[in-house]
Chains A and B, each alone.
Chain A
Amino acid sequence: MASFSKEFSKGITISNPIFILALGLCPALAISYSLDNALGMSAAVIFVLLGSNIIISAARRIVPNIMRIPTFIVIIATFVTIVTLVFQAYVPNLYQSLGIFLPLIVVNCIILGRAEAFASKNPVISSIADALGIGLGFALALIVISLLREFLGTGGISISLFEQLFNAGSLSFTLPAFSEHPLAIFVLSPGAFLVIGLLMALFRWIGQKKND
Chain B
Amino acid sequence: MTELISIFVGMALINNFILVKFLGLCPFFGVSKKLSSAVSMGAAVTFVMFIASTATWVITEYILIPFEVEFMKIVIYILVIASLVQIIELFVIRTNYALYNAFGIYLALITTNCAVMGITLLNAQQSYSFPESIVAALGAGIGFTLVLAIMSGIRERLEMSDSPKSMKGLPIAFITAMLLGLAFSGFGGMI
Contact = CB atoms under 8 A, between A and B. Distances in A.
A and B: real partners?
A: yes
Interface of A: 22, 25-27, 29-30, 70, 73-74, 77-78, 80-81, 84-85, 99-100, 103-104, 106-109, 112, 188-194, 196-198, 200-202, 204-205, 208
Contacts, number: 110
Q: What 9 A-B pairs have minimum CB-CB distances, sorted nearest first? A: A197-B174, A193-B178, A190-B181, A30-B22, A201-B171, A205-B166, A204-B166, A77-B75, A29-B22
Contact of B185 (A85, A106, A190, A197): A190
Contact of B74 (A30, A84, A192, A208): A84
Contact of B170 (A77, A81, A104, A200): A200
B172 interface: yes
B74 A103 contact: yes
Interface string B66-98: 000001111100110010000000000000000
Considering residues B73, B82, B112, B164, which has the most beta carbons from chain A within 10 angstroms of its beta carbon?
B112
Interface stretch (B33-41, B55-63, B113-121, B138-146): B113-121
A192 B22 contact: yes
B118 A25 contact: no
B74 A200 contact: no
B19 A189 contact: yes
B177 interface: yes
Contacts of B23: 26, 30, 104
A107 B185 contact: no
B178 A190 contact: yes
Interface of B: 19-26, 29, 71-75, 78-79, 82, 112-114, 117-118, 121-122, 125, 164-167, 170-175, 177-179, 181-182, 185
Contact of A107 (B29, B117, B175, B179): B117
Contact of B79 (A73, A196, A204): A73
Considering residues B24, B26, B125, which has the most beta carbons from chain A within 10 angstroms of its beta carbon?
B26
A30 B82 contact: no
A29 B171 contact: no
A85 B70 CA distance: 11
A70 B72 contact: no
B121 A104 contact: yes
B122 A100 contact: yes
Contact of A201 (B73, B125, B167): B167
Contact of A106 (B117, B170, B178): B117
B22 A197 contact: no
A81 B72 CA distance: 7
A78 B71 CA distance: 11
Contacts of B19: 189-190
Given A190-B19, A193-B181, A204-B166, 10 more contacts: A25-B25, A77-B74, A84-B74, A100-B125, A109-B112, A190-B179, A194-B178, A196-B174, A197-B177, A201-B171
B181 A189 contact: yes
A22 B181 contact: no
A112 B75 CA distance: 14
A204 B171 contact: yes
Nearest to B122: A100
Nearest to B75: A77
B86 to A, nearest CB: 10
Nearest to B167: A201
B172 A100 contact: no
B20 A189 contact: yes
A74 B26 CA distance: 22
Contacts of B166: 201-202, 204-205, 208
A26 B22 contact: yes
Contacts of A70: 79, 82
A190 B118 CA distance: 20
Contacts of B167: 201, 204
